[in-house]
Amino acid sequence: MPSKKLSLYFQTLKHVKPTQLYHQLYYRLKNRFFKKSYQGKPEQVVKLRLKSGILYPNSYSGNKKFSFLNLEKSFSVIDWNFSEFGKLWAYNLNYFEFLNQEKITGEQGRELIQDYISKKEILKDGFEPYPISLRGINWIKFLAKYRIEDQGINEFLYANYLRLTDNLEYHLLANHLLENGFSLLFGAYYFQDEILFKKAYKILIVQLEEQILEDGAHYELSPMYHQIILHRVLDCLNLIQNNKWKADELKNLLHTKAENMLVWLEAISFINGEIPKLNDSIDGIAPNTRELLTYAAGLGLKSNTVKLKDSGYRKFEFKELEILMDVGQIAPKYQPGHSHSDSLQFLLNYKNKPVIVDTGISTYEKNERRQLERSTGSHNTVTINDQNSSEVWGGFRVARRAKVSIFNETATLIEASHNGYRKLGFTHGRIFSIEENTFRIEDKILQDGNKSCKANGYLHFHPDTIIEIKGNSISINEELRLEISGADQIELGDYKFAEGFNKIKAAKKLVYTFKHKVILEFHSASEAKPLRPLREKTY
């Protein structure tokens, strides 16, 4: 194996937990040499009561036609193993979220479930633990809503939970294991099963404490996955509040974590209700902030205020500007699959509209596009000698990673640096500050020795943004002016903005080249039109 490949594996694997390595080997051997069939009859099935929750987008339009990730497929006979659109599309087909969309009847849903069960001998992706987990929750919510009693469905569902308990995702941990726990809780209540409950309890007690940070963020630091996990916590609260079986054993934990997560989500969301598309985040996958707040209120939950802290995100709300800054770490260390090489980047909204944005994600396939979207040059920060600050690779892996240090932080200033270019002999430092009508960024490159340095700073503009460059002055939508001092060169280029999975749009980026220091200042395009105070949140 080439030395570079060995280095990638070493720098990646040195951060993983021993249980991940053990379970990777254990599951590979078990599933190859000791294959097991799962069947059995549940001792009882309970008619659960659930308040109406958040409906999913309409991904099933009848007549065996499905649409996921902006790709549509019509079947003559449904192929539940369909792989032409990639693994994530196949996963979505097997999640059965469409059972809980607005436009579907009980009869349609039951027919789809029975069709799925009829193909059980040939199912592939659908028998992996993650789709089993999501499908289990979606089936139970659907069966409860329509009061469906079907022995064949229940036996298949119970067999799925037996398979899940034997293949819990301890090799991956993070949101995968947490989803296993949420689903086991639903299965435990549906079947009044003590074994399923004990496994769910063990996972949720440990993982919720570890995965929800002190400031309320989910520790993978993706606002989209935060919304997904919060939705699941709310569903679990819905389940135990409305069904009297072991209700007190997890209620307080779920209630506390849900409220903390709500607070963080409100703090991180922009005034227009949109989340910042940081790390693996994109629209159309998770329930939005408005939906989650409404659902939470119906369950008796309240949100408050929080100071953003250990998540590493910071926010300036400055008159008509909203600035979201990332001064956090690659996280979690042992499973950074949804992290990007974006240390010290920022996003900017003006008058409730996105101006400087993350380029987004359009794929989870292990290809050049995935690598590009995770790279440093696809974020609003700085590359040195065209290198990534953290070594992203393999679709969901990170080898060598930058460490961010915060030196000074006040309500109007954040000074930080990262050592992601230490092998090159450089450190990138950045100061964010606001004063009067100006948002200011100061980039510094600290150098060890006399090595050659080519630093490129990147600003990615939303596709609707109008940019005009005159020397070192940039007009933005004829409302904001950006002044850049200290740059050797300023160029306007093109990039592809991801509006969703498999959906990209042409947009503009600005690249400024410098050696040691550069200053960016954003302010009103006209002193006659000063920045006004921000309006109240609209969601």
pLDDT, residue 527, reads 47
Measured between alpha carbons, how far is 278 from 286 in angstroms, rounded to an integer? 14
Specify the pLDDT at position 254: 97
CA distances from 334 to 119, 169, 224, 273 (A): 37, 14, 20, 31
Residue 291: how many other CB atoms lie within 10 Å: 17
Q: Is the pLDDT of residue 449 over 80?
A: no
Per-residue pLDDT at 436: 80
> For 75, left (φ over 0), alpha (ψ -120 to 50), or beta?
beta
**Position 160 confidence tier, pLDDT thresholds 50, 70, 90:** very high
- Whether pLDDT at 463 is above 90: yes
- Out of 79-83, 111-115, 305-309, least confident range: 305-309
| In the predicted structure, residue 431 carries a pLDDT above the cut 90 | yes
DSSP letters of 380-418?
SSEEETTB-SS-EETTTEE-S---EEEEEE-SSEEEEEE
Q: In this predicted structure, what is the pLDDT of residue 526?
A: 59
pLDDT at 380: 98
Residue 327's φ and ψ, nearest 5 degrees, are -120, 30
pLDDT > 60? residue 340: yes
Nearest partner of 506 among 520, 494, 524, 516, judged by Cα: 494
SS (HEC) of 164-229: HHCCCCCCCCHHHHHHHHHHHHHHHHHHCCHHHHHHHHHHHHHHHHHHECCCCCECCCCHHHHHHH
Q: Which two tokens stand for residue 241?
A: 């509040």
Confidence band for 539, pLDDT divided at 50, 70 and 90: very low
| Under 8 Å between Cβ of 343 and 404 | yes
What is the rounded average pLDDT of the residues 115-140?
97
Which residue segments constitute the domains of the chain, with CATH numbers given? 43-197 (no CATH), 212-311 (no CATH), 313-524 (2.70.98.70)
Residue 12 in this model has a pLDDT that exceeds 70? yes
Q: Mean pLDDT, the chain, as a whole number? A: 94
Distance, in Å, from the CA atom of 123 to the CA atom of 94, rounded to the nearest integer, reads 10
Sole residue written with tokens 């030196």? 407
What tens digit of pLDDT does each residue of 228-273 get? 999 999 999 999 999 989 877 899 999 999 999 999 999 999 999 9
Query: pLDDT tens digits, residue range 363-413?
Result: 999 999 999 999 999 999 999 999 999 999 999 999 999 999 999 999 999
Give residue 538's pLDDT: 46
Residue 302 near residue 246 (C-beta atoms within 8 A): no
Among 89-98, 192-201, 319-328, 527-536, whose mean pLDDT is lowest? Answer: 527-536
Which pLDDT does position 537 carry in this prediction? 56
Report which residue type is found at 72.
E
When pLDDT is cut at 50, 70 and 90, the band that residue 530 belongs to is very low
Compute the distance between CA of residue 203 and CA of residue 30 in angstroms, rounded to an integer: 22
- pLDDT, residue 535, reads 45
| pLDDT confidence tier of residue 502, bands split at 50, 70 and 90 | very high
Element (H, E) at 108: helix 106-118
Given a cut of 60, is residue 528 above it in pLDDT?
no
Best CA proximity match to 513, nearest among 528, 493, 499, 532: 493
The pTM (predicted TM-score) of the whole model is 0.96
The answer, yes or no, to whether residue 91 has pLDDT greater than 90, is yes
User: What's the pLDDT band for 529 if we cut at 50, 70, 90?
Assistant: very low
Read off the pLDDT of each residue in 426-436 and give the average, rounded to a whole number: 95
